[in-house]
A and B are shown apart, each in its own frame.
Chain A
Amino acid sequence: MRITIDQDKCVASGQCVTAAMDVFDQRDEDGIVVLLTSTPPAELADDVRQAAILCPALAIHIEE
Chain B
Amino acid sequence: MTETLNQAEIPQFPMARAAGCPFDPPPTLKALQEEGPLVKVRLWDGRTPWLVTRHAEQRALLADPRVSADITRPGYPGQTPISGGSPLSFILMDDPEHARLRRMVTAPFAVKRVEALRPVVQKIVDELIDDLLAGPKPVDLVEAFALPVPSLVICELLGVPYSDHDFFQDNSKTIVKRDVTPEQRAAAGGRLAEYLGDLVGRKLADPGDDLLSQLAGRVKAGELSQREAAQMGVLLLIAGHETTANMIALGTLALLQHPHQLALLRESDDPKLVAGAVEELLRYLNITHSGRRRVALEDIEIAGQVIRAGDGLIMANDIGNRDAATFPDPDELDIRRDARLHVAFGFGVHQCLGQPLARMELQVVYSTLYRRIPTLRAATDLDQISFKHDGQVYGVYELPVTW
Contact = CB atoms under 8 A, between A and B. Distances in A.
A11 B349 contact: yes
A28 interface: yes
B109 A58 contact: no
B219 to A, nearest CB: 17
A11 B107 contact: no
B267 to A, nearest CB: 25
A5 interface: no
Interface residues of A, number: 23
B273 to A, nearest CB: 16
A31 interface: yes
Interface in A29-55: 29-32, 50, 53-54
Contact of A12 (B110, B341, B346, B347): B110
Interface of A: 9, 11-15, 17-18, 21, 25-32, 50, 53-54, 56-58
Contacts of B340: 50, 54
Given A13-B355, A31-B109, 14 more contacts: A9-B349, A11-B102, A12-B110, A14-B109, A14-B114, A14-B356, A21-B111, A27-B110, A28-B110, A31-B103, A53-B341, A56-B63, A56-B351, A58-B63
Nearest to A19: B340
A12 B112 contact: no
Interface in B66-115: 99, 102-104, 106-107, 109-114
A30 B104 CA distance: 7
B348 interface: yes
A56 B63 CA distance: 7
B326 to A, nearest CB: 11
Given A11-B102, A50-B340, A31 B110 contact: yes
B315 interface: no
A14 B111 contact: yes
Instruction: Give the bracket for the number of chain B residues in contact with chain A.
Output: 20 to 34
A33 B355 CA distance: 16
B349 A12 contact: no
B353 A13 contact: yes
Contacts of A17: 110-112
14 contacts: A11-B102, A13-B352, A13-B353, A13-B356, A15-B355, A17-B110, A17-B111, A30-B104, A30-B107, A31-B107, A31-B110, A32-B106, A56-B347, A56-B349
Nearest to A26: B110
A64 B347 CA distance: 25
B351 A14 contact: no
A28 B166 CA distance: 34
Contacts of A15: 355
Question: Which of A14, A50, A53 counts the most B-chain CB atoms under 10 A from its CB?
Answer: A14
Contacts of B356: 13-14, 18
A56 B346 contact: yes
A8 to B, nearest CB: 8
A31 B103 CA distance: 8
A50 B106 CA distance: 22
Contacts of B112: 17, 25-26
B19 to A, nearest CB: 35
Given A11-B102, A56-B63, A28 B107 contact: yes
A12 B109 contact: yes
A13 B340 CA distance: 14
A32 B353 CA distance: 12
Given A11-B99, A14-B109, A56 B341 contact: no
Interface in B337-361: 340-341, 345-353, 355-356, 359
Given A12-B110, A14-B111, A54-B340, A32 B103 contact: yes
Nearest to A16: B111
Contacts of B111: 14, 17-18, 21, 26
A27 B103 CA distance: 11
A27 B110 CA distance: 8
Contacts of B341: 53-54
Contact of B103 (A9, A13, A18, A30): A30
A21 B340 CA distance: 16
